[in-house]
Structure 1
Amino acid sequence: MNKSLRNPLVYILFIFPALLLFFMFFIYPIFSSIYYSFTSWNGVSANPKFIGFSNYLKALEDERFWESAKNNGWFIVFSCFIQVPLIIFFSLLIANVKKLKGLYKTAVFLPSIMSTAVIGILWGFIYEPNIGLLNKLLGLIGIEPLYWLSDEKYAMFSILLTNAWQWTGFYIIMVLAAILSIPRDLDEAAEIDGATRLQRALSITLPLIKPIISVVIMLSIAGAMKAADIVIVMTKGGPAGSTDVLATYMIKYAITNFKYGYGNTIAVLIFIFTLILTALYQLFIARRSERIEY
């Protein structure tokens, strides 16, 4: 047995299936998209026409493309500056709960295991102008019904709120695990020294969970760049394309309009933008969150 394990062919045999799947479903699609992004192709013809960088130049001059990219930016801003602080706040609250902590963790995590289609339909009923819960509550204080998903002023915010509701619990569990792994001795020593709960949270807990907060922010950025399903379910990019993100804009071109060449160009640009954003975050921010051991 030991002699077999020293044979390199044994290890190659075990990792080959994983490498094959990785190549089939990750490496090959990436290079395939890059190739087709330089072509004019309808997705059906056998011989795509090579057109060089024409698709990329078209994308850079396409106002709808940049409008969609701006909406992805709103996802990032909302996630980093509103969702992440709320995640930290609720994680600290749950960490200090004495009873039914498991119930609270289950409750906040539940939305993240639900289907996006279910989430979209559920919140669609909440946003419904005539019988929706949100407008009913606003009506109690004298505010006229608002068209949350059909008015350009509110549609994007409505989607951002729904998306945050779905994924906040998932990140709370991550941050909560980091908080609960901090030795109680540190907190107790600070409490004996007279530090208040707020002071302990700001001076002990937050500095010690910086690495996991950094991971949450990076995942939020990556998730914001590939957002599509919640938009498709709730608005299909409407009204008048005001809630389109890069992924939904790509789907419209590639599938609805049979312009697979340009659709692959948008897919490659999404990949490049995501790579640049995550690299910049890692370079200028995440690297400052050093690994903490205690």
Structure 2
Amino acid sequence: MQLSLLQGMVGEGELRLLQGVLDAVRTGLFVFDAGQRLVLWNHWMEQHSQQPAGSVLGKSFAELFPEMVDGRTHIALRAALENSFSSLLSQTLNKSPFPLYATPADLALGQRMQQAVHIMPLQAAGMPRHCLVQVSDVSMAVARERKLREQALELESQTLVDGLTGIANRRRFNVHLEDEFRRAKRNASPLSLIMIDVDYFKDYNDNYGHQRGDSCLAQIAAALAGQLNRSRDLVARYGGEEFTVILPDTTADGALQVAETMRCEVEARQLPHEYSGVAPHVTISLGVSTVVPDLLSTTGGLIHAADRALYQAKRSGRNCVVVYADERPA
């Protein structure tokens, strides 16, 4: 690096001290004169550009960075020289403007470091205006930020998934039902809901233990989810041994068919349940409700109707499907 810019203006000792400071700082510093020619290039720049000061000093911006001419960085440099404007380049828009590399291996791969660039005018008495460019390596900060974003997304996804069964949880159900309800109202299309309860599940837990009970719920969840093929269909754990299924663009007849298929699939698993009052294996009861939403319709009304149908299914002997219609379960 050379300090010809300051020779004759400071003493020899101060010049050496300043050069030591510039060589020690862990950031890139380089200066252009009023003619956009490079007059200072510190050790950090030598190290990360793989270009010694002697090979670049005196060259113009266009000679050094031909691909950057008239780009954002060049415009900011001209604004500093001509109008004394400072610029802090957006890291989002200018991730790696200068050909700088953290390691020789990165240079071989053409992988530039992530950079924060600050361009500042320099004005000293009796001298034409110069421009200082400061470059910092923010690769680690960017990587940390990316990792934090990924962790936040992972955490968010976990808050929408039931930890036991791996299907949607109650929160995801609520959000999805509101979305599909608004869509159905806009399109005047049917929206169906199935409420599901595992028959005599308390007796199952009491006699087989909670570990077997958890395994049973996970298998039921898999059986229910396996019957859904459309991307907007959703099966969720509603709470305890209750599940619910959202079926957009589905009539009551269509929902009845899906519900009956689910009932049969769970029964076909033949999960032993000696303490059931219905069958020697695990069974489920299902209540179905359907609505084409209007101005008076609510998601609460749809849930209430499906819940009433489920209650009627339990009263009717369990291991069956009941559809709610015309203000009464049918």
TM-score, length of structure 1 as denominator length: 0.22
Larger Rg: 2
Choose between structure 1 and 2: higher helix proportion: 1
Report which structure shows greater RCO (CA 8 Å, sep ≥6): 1
TM-score, length of structure 2 as denominator length: 0.20
